[in-house]
Amino acid sequence: MGEPRLRLTYLDGIRAIAAMFVAVHHIWLGVWEDFPANSGPWWTGWLLYGHIAVAVFIVLSGFSLAIEPVRHEGRMRGGARRFFRRRAWRILPAYWAALAFSIIMIAVRNHELLGPDGTVVGHQPVTVKSVVVHGLLLQDVIGSPSPNGAFWSIAIEWQIYFLFPLLLWWQRRFTARWLVLATLAAVIFSQYVSLQFDVLSPIQGLTPQFLALFVFGMVAANVLNGPPRPRRWAMIGAGAGAALLIAYAWIAGSVTVVENFFWVDLAAGVCTALLLTGLVHARRSRLRSFFQTRFLRWTGRFSYSIYLVHSPILLTLWHFAVLPMRLDPVPRFLVMLALGMPAVIFGSWLFSRLFEEPFLRHRSWQGLREAAAARVAAARLAVSGRVPHRAPGTGVADPEASLVPEER
């Protein structure tokens, strides 16, 4: 008898909230352009910190990917080669489709929308270099115009994947505590030298603290090996840490917080890891129940698509619908929220249906071809008036993918 399925559906809810927060953050940026200062109303000040949601995503990624190794004595089932192939299959098709969609939306805006003085509004050049650099996920290493402002973190996470087998080996060999300490030492040292020596300043583009956040998530997943009892200390720690971060942001101000995102990200990563640790066995937790509400679970299933395509959707809506209204900033912000978020959710869901779900259901090109052939055959039978017979295995989600919702 195989292992029982592990369903941590609350992870989908956390992903959904993080993805939608990034989208609202970008709406704020489109209305008030003085980031990192808050030139909008005080009650919108918390929307400056969309970067924190990305940090949460990275911790979630480490946690989700570590669940399978945790259940197999710290080893990847099938080895590193299988892991890299499955990560590429999961991440790249939707990413490349979003890259193409972003470029198309830029072309539509540039060619169809002119400002009052006859110039193109919102011009954003896309060169062959930027397409190649972003297509190869090297935008954090090689500077180029970005077709999509949300793509910067995808490259960083993609590169962390290649360190995952090494991180697992280190954890098996030296324990999780030493993995955390060694990673923290490495990222703090890299941050220090990148600030001290101009020749090493490109390290900043790699956002080195994200490696530590990924490790925090990995280590948090080890709680699955322990006895199934609530970790109230973890929940208390997460709440206390979040309260301290909020107090720091309130007292120091957004400019100081943004200047110290390295340390803020590390603190937010610890809070997120503690939260995940506390929620694993807290089945009666109201917070866990909230994350498992139907809407959040549904939205979380395509949170990766929300992250990928919310920016071109919002920018296109902004230029063609909201900008011509000539509203003041606050009404403009509210209109963008009212129109933009439903558009983002619907557009991302549709994008996910086309470019994300097929690669979750079928884990090979052969599987995709067979599914496409089955759909064509079913359509022909429907046209002829006969009842189609559903081929075995078509339209059924990958069993392994259903165990733990995929990250982002």
* Digit-coded pLDDT (tens) for 356-399: 999 988 877 787 777 778 877 877 777 776 655 554 444 433 33
What's residue 387's pLDDT?
56
- 391 in a structural domain: no
Of the chain, the percentage scoring pLDDT greater than 90 comes to 64
- 375 in a structural domain: no
The pair of three-digit structure tokens given for residue 138, joined into one six-digit string: 């090297």
Q: What residues make up the domain containing 345?
A: 10-364+397-403
Contacts of residue 387, defined as CB under 8 A and 6 or more positions apart, other chains included, come to 381
- 176 in a structural domain: yes
Closest to 14 in 3D by CA, of 70, 53, 71: 53
Query: End-to-end alpha-carbon separation of the chain, Å?
Result: 31
- 45 in a structural domain: yes
Question: pTM (2 decimals)?
Answer: 0.88
Write b or e for each residue in 71-81: b if 16 or more Cβ atoms lie within 10 A of its Cβ, otherwise e: beebebeeeee
Query: pLDDT tens, 250-271?
Result: 999 999 999 999 999 999 999 9
Q: How far is CA 312 from the centre of its chain?
A: 16
CA gap 314, 80 in Å, rounded: 38
Residue 208 near residue 187, CB atoms below 8 Å? yes
What's residue 124's pLDDT?
54
The DSSP output letter for 325 is G
Work out the average pLDDT over 59-81: 92
What's residue 115's pLDDT?
35
Looking at every residue in the chain, the average pLDDT score rounds to: 87
What's residue 372's pLDDT?
76
- 378 in a structural domain: no
Residue 269 near residue 59, CB atoms below 8 Å? yes
- 372 in a structural domain: no
Task: Quickly state the pLDDT bin for 402 (edges 50, 70, 90).
Answer: very low
- 379 in a structural domain: no
Q: Report the 10 Å Cβ neighbour count for 317.
A: 20
The pair of three-digit structure tokens given for residue 247, joined into one six-digit string: 């107090």
- What is the domain count for the chain? 1
Task: Quickly state the pLDDT bin for 287 (edges 50, 70, 90).
Answer: very high
What's residue 120's pLDDT?
41
Q: What is the dihedral of CA 352, 357, 360, 363, to 10 degrees?
A: -120
The residue whose two tokens read 């892991």 is: 83
What's residue 385's pLDDT?
67
Query: pLDDT tens, 81-96?
Result: 999 999 999 999 999 9
Please determine, for residue 138, whether its predicted confidence score (pLDDT) is greater than 90.
Answer: yes
Query: pLDDT tens, 294-352?
Result: 999 999 999 999 999 999 999 999 988 998 888 999 999 999 999 999 999 999 999 99
What's residue 205's pLDDT?
87
CA gap 25, 170 in Å, rounded: 37
CA distances (Å), 342 to each of 20, 143, 299, 310, 338, in order? 11, 33, 12, 11, 7
- 388 in a structural domain: no
